[in-house]
A and B are shown apart, each in its own frame.
Chain A
Amino acid sequence: MTMTEKHQEIRPLLAMYALGGLDAEERSVVDGHLVDCKDCQRELARFSEVADGLLQAVPPQAAPGTIRRHLESALSRRVKPAPVRRSPALAWTRLALGLGLAALVGVNLLLAANVSQLSQQVRDLASQVDRNQTGLALMTYPTVQVAELQGQTVFGTLVYDPARRVAVVYAWGLPHLPPGQAYQAWFRQDSQDRVNGGLFQAQDPDSFTVVVVEAPEALASYTGLGVTIEPATGSPGPSSPTVFSADFH
């Protein structure tokens, strides 16, 4: 392929490149061409300015005061670790969490370096890192709590802040399900009603499954969390025995 032909092939991709929407293979091809093509470098720079402008062009909205208050609380404990209420029986949990997260970070780096993997794997990796970051961010909150998971073959912890709607589950030994099934999380209310907390799949039976679950209201409104096996499309209510559960303090 001549330079001109290559140029004509690459030029239509520059706008999407600036928007960050090319897959890894396409991006690699464009990167190779950009090394020698000043025209495309200039064109990409212009599109990149537009992309930056698109971020700035979204109208600002008055940020709620709760955001700053949460940040002030989080930073007020910056020097010391956030106090975490837990039972003495969970003394092993921090070490297990640290080792598991370190293993997950190591696995993530390995996968990210494998450029022949398809972009779907890269996106899955980004979601996994983001779940870890959600858990790490949650741990900085001064009112974060940790609950032990109760299950026959599954164990681990639930990290949550009663004032928030999001919690992170770290579950060991959660088996993969056959096609057509999924794990479904339920938040338990005082009335014993169950509120859907979302569907998820096990990640690796030999390691952690990390799940971010979200409730419609602050977690202080609920007494605990339970997980059952349901159809992959979800169920209006629990229809099978609990795989594991956790009680909120």
Chain B
Amino acid sequence: MTDDMMPPEVLGSAELVGDGTATQFEVTKTKQPGEGKKQIRKEQLRVLYTSPGFIFGVIIVGFWVLAAVLPGLLTTVGEKEFVEVGPRVKPGSDAWLGTDKNGWDVYARIIYGARPILIVAPVATAMAVIVGTMLGLIMGYYRGWVDEVLSRVIEAILSIPIILMAILVVFTFGRSTPVIIGTIAVLFVPAITRTIRSAAISESDLDYVMSAKMRGESGLFIVSREILPNVIGLVVVELTVRLGYAVFTYATLAFLGFVGSNITDADWGIDVSQNYEQIVRDIWWPSIFPAIAIASMVIGVNLIADSIDKALKS
């Protein structure tokens, strides 16, 4: 059992995870005292900051965050302000991205529309990740009947189509923002739970957990202090990846009309649904531009998520 038995592909990644698979590969690891954790972090950050995907993603997401926080900085026109040029004007010098059927400026609508999506998606994701991580750790560590029961519940949730779930929830609890956040969170919990559960299972098989059991530690201690710190990197990756999905899911629900009390409010999904019929009359800009905004947001978040994942593994 020497260290240099690794398939060469994993050399680069031996650094980060140090889990069951990577740990034997002393070779490339930091045997030297000079290269400490800080040094590794620093180098990982450098890889992150210099990756084009990350820079691009940050620019896109940063722009939308700015729009959500201070829309007034990016546009002088209000979301429901009738501009002088009138309705259904093509994109041009009068209105950058044109105006819609109501005579509202599409660009201004998009800037103001960033806010709802940027409230719902991160909050829902955070909730789902917290709940999913807790469940996953418990299931992965205890296994047995706890795992069986929770697994069945999760499969039950997974078997309900998103739309059906949304219809049920909206008709039962209304369409307020907290309800939408809760719905998206519940939808996301199963996938996160599964990811964390499998990580927790492989952690539980490691000898440090057995060692903790042998000195008489409680299950709560082992799960929260021993195992959790070792899966936290995975939690971060889940957080960023799921955020992209949450943006997408929220936009879908908005398009289908399950979101918000007023269809005149600026919201990308709603704007697409209100204007897409006019594409057949060649008035494409009021729906295509919000759709591009949704896509850019999803892409931006995913670019960041991928870059973080890569940097952690570099």
Partners in one complex: no
